[in-house]
Structure 1
């Protein structure tokens, strides 16, 4: 199943909040759900999907393997536990959430175990997340770039990562943008608001449309129904070259997610 270009992120959503957001999202028409082991909401995502009445075959589900489970003898078991929580026999996409801190687990071991999990039918596709250029290249060498469905990374108007984008394009690796609204910073940006005013669109819609125009998938999140509905409409917004150039000019290398175990960024 092809990954829908706009999905529903669930980072920082827990318990009833996660359940309500995913329920609303599915009701509104979202067909791409993004979760992770460390989010501690796979069970709620699975419950919302099971109770939605939406056919399983119509929904693209992504989860991510946490760093504690990257060893070859742990990865598959952890993915099976994710499937149990999600109430699924298979996820559509499984990602390595973060590279192993300090390289404690060899990347080759992890990628080979991930590929084996796909071949065992636990996941229809596999990929990586938060991988800078060197590690993305290394992962591609281990399993082949054609086996890496996406690299999910922080991307927004203030962090455009040109080196990573160029390497991904060279390898043929798709990018998924998380934090696409920069923790809401885009909403108050005058340059983005000006583009929105020309189209009768919100700044959030403009930012999402800009990312999608570049070929990325986007996974914004919200707990408010009106915002979830508005984000979906970004798929209908067509930006012209001037609009895209206006957002291109906003890059300032502002990274918002960089935990102490993060890899060396480009």
Structure 2
């Protein structure tokens, strides 16, 4: 059995369907052309590669805080999907609970795009996430975690860090931001996505440039706190990215089948409540 036949859950992907759900006027980027990615298209991708479930992430691009496209997919997916929403920092507990009832398991925060100051006033929201046992999903890059350590240490919310922390591959695993990510493993309430290698490594050197970081994360967090994601449909990429080669990359990064089973199936099923 190879990775294409093994059970899998894709824990980072996005939908863009402007014909059905118009983009938000405040979105920082409007995906178009080959970046448009409907639920029907993603279902075909999942079926082609043997992906049983997916954690759909509400994107800042296109939809900002408009979660209609995400919630539609959750509603019609018959349990195939869970979701991570993008919300206004002032959202009420009742409104968060209503999202949770529709299959949302967390809220996304993106200092990699908006800067660390965008999390200056989210303690209240993090508290609501903790009350509902929802994830705070955080995408950082390079050394941004250093500025966020206080927030992440004092919150009791469950944490989910995107894309291996998006390290600077020129700086090595000892760079302060990546070491801060490894230290989060000791909190017992943080998990990490082994995803988005194409966001921090060169397109023609994904394995060589990402392997040290992936292996360090697996060692620190353990397979019970690591999940895999594709980042489909790969918007704003400078070079072509395809789903199949990313699965083969995951197989090379995790050559042990039992480890892959944990990271790509058992752990996301438990963390996100897939049937």
Structure 2 length as normaliser, TM-score? 0.53
Q: 2:51 aligns with which of 26, 29, 33?
A: 29
Aligned pairs for 1:179-218 within 5 A = 179-182=196-199, 185-186=202-203, 188-189=204-205, 212-213=214-215, 214-215=217-218, 217-218=227-228
Alignment match, 2:76: 51
Alignment match, 1:95: 108
What CA distance in whole angstroms lies between the structure 1 residues aligned with 2:116 and 2:249?
39
What CA distance in whole angstroms lies between the structure 1 residues aligned with 2:97 and 2:172?
35
* 1:111–1:143 Cα contact (<8 Å) kept: yes
Instruction: Report the CA distance between 1:143 and its aligned residue.
Output: 1.3
Q: For residues 102 and 47 of structure 1, do their structure 2 counterparts lie closer, same or farther at Cα, with a shift above 3 Å needed?
A: closer
Alignment match, 2:176: 163
Alignment match, 1:264: none
5+ residue gaps, structure 2, are 1-7, 20-35, 219-225, 235-240, 256-275
* 1:8–1:219 Cα contact (<8 Å) kept: yes
Q: Does 1:10 align with 2:14?
A: yes
Residue 171 of structure 1 aligns to a residue whose secondary structure is: helix
What CA distance in whole angstroms lies between the structure 2 residues aligned with 1:102 and 1:126?
15
1:6-43 residue CA offsets vs partner (Å, 9 max, x unmatched) = 534228x4436321443234434152324235233543
Q: Does 1:137 align with 2:149?
A: yes
Q: For residues 52 and 229 of structure 1, do their structure 2 counterparts lie closer, same or farther at Cα, with a shift above 3 Å needed?
A: farther
* 1:156–1:211 Cα contact (<8 Å) kept: no
* 1:33–1:61 Cα contact (<8 Å) kept: yes
Q: Does 1:176 align with 2:186?
A: no
What CA distance in whole angstroms lies between the structure 2 residues aligned with 1:118 and 1:181?
31
Structure 1 length as normaliser, TM-score? 0.55
Alignment match, 1:124: 134
Q: For residues 113 and 15 of structure 1, do their structure 2 counterparts lie closer, same or farther at Cα, with a shift above 3 Å needed?
A: same
Q: For residues 158 and 77 of structure 1, do their structure 2 counterparts lie closer, same or farther at Cα, with a shift above 3 Å needed?
A: farther
Alignment match, 1:75: 91
Residue 178 of structure 2 aligns to a residue whose secondary structure is: helix
Aligned length: 202
Q: For residues 115 and 209 of structure 1, do their structure 2 counterparts lie closer, same or farther at Cα, with a shift above 3 Å needed?
A: same
What CA distance in whole angstroms lies between the structure 2 residues aligned with 1:102 and 1:155?
16
* 2:74–2:82 Cα contact (<8 Å) kept: no
Return structure 1 stretches of 4+ with deviation > 4 angstroms.
Answer: 77-82, 99-102, 155-161, 206-212
RMSD: 4.3
Residue 33 of structure 1 aligns to a residue whose secondary structure is: strand
Instruction: Report the CA distance between 1:236 and its aligned residue.
Output: 3.4
Q: For residues 45 and 112 of structure 1, do their structure 2 counterparts lie closer, same or farther at Cα, with a shift above 3 Å needed?
A: closer
* 1:10–1:221 Cα contact (<8 Å) kept: yes
Residue 22 of structure 1 aligns to a residue whose secondary structure is: helix
Instruction: Report the CA distance between 1:91 and its aligned residue.
Output: 1.5
Q: Does 1:236 align with 2:251?
A: yes
1:67-122 residue CA offsets vs partner (Å, 9 max, x unmatched) = xx33xxx2337964993xxx952422223222876847744xx1232221442x3x
Residue 38 of structure 1 aligns to a residue whose secondary structure is: coil
Q: For residues 24 and 139 of structure 1, do their structure 2 counterparts lie closer, same or farther at Cα, with a shift above 3 Å needed?
A: farther
Alignment match, 1:39: 61
